Structure 1
Amino acid sequence: MITPWLPLFLDDQIKLNDFGASDYIITQLAEFGWNAELWKARGELFRARGNQRDLVHAARFYENAIDLDPTLASAYRGLGLCLFKTGRRSEGQRALKTYLELKPEAEDAGMVRLMLPKEATQ
């Protein structure tokens, strides 16, 4: 019953800035199997904490989400931002380009386009 609301619930939980509780909730929800939304949420959680090691883990979690749902635009966004912050700029740009292809009218599309080379945004 909560499946349609799960992304919103998880986003709100992560915004509480309680890493331990959020990670516990996500892993408990995944007890019967990980899905793309749970992997993406775990990526968001680790990216929000922001240290280099967490960004590497977050990138892997976003990749897991993409493997399960290659149409999950927000996972490409998170992956691209993590890759940028860990020095993998060209890979990050590819992920962000895919994000914009999947969600061209994203609220942050203008900001994301600034991170891409000029030829990629035309």
Structure 2
Amino acid sequence: MIYKFVDGGEVPVPLDLALVRAVLEPYDVGDPQLTEGEDASLAFWIRASDGSEAEIFADENGILVERPHAGGVFGIIAELAARLGAVVISPSSAGIVCGADEHAHLPAGMRDDAIVIEMEGETLEAVLTGPRRPR
């Protein structure tokens, strides 16, 4: 999940959906007619150049990333989080992952447990899933 926090506020702030669309549209391989829902939510099926894929659902409250494959798709997710100034939250593994600038905006209760990284694909993937094994 991807959320944006500002000034230590406990509640995530609304996301810039135009920016979400700008980052994800070049990678969208789904039906363009299904991208925007009636409630202005967005849905993308993205594919990186290495063939890795993920489904991404976004509204102004946050972004849900489902079934990301190992590989380049994590670079797209990292770019999205970085451009939004947002954090990645993985309830099943690493917890909160963010860049240094975003760390300062987290609520105080989340800062100690956050993992601060350079927001890039390989690093994000390694933190969330463990290092990739050679094929």
TM surpasses 0.5 = no
The answer to which structure has the higher strand fraction is 2
Q: TM-score, normalised by structure 2?
A: 0.32
Which structure has more helix as a fraction of its residues? 1
Name the TM-score, length of structure 1 as normaliser: 0.34
Q: Which has the higher contact order (CA 8 A, sep 6+)?
A: 2
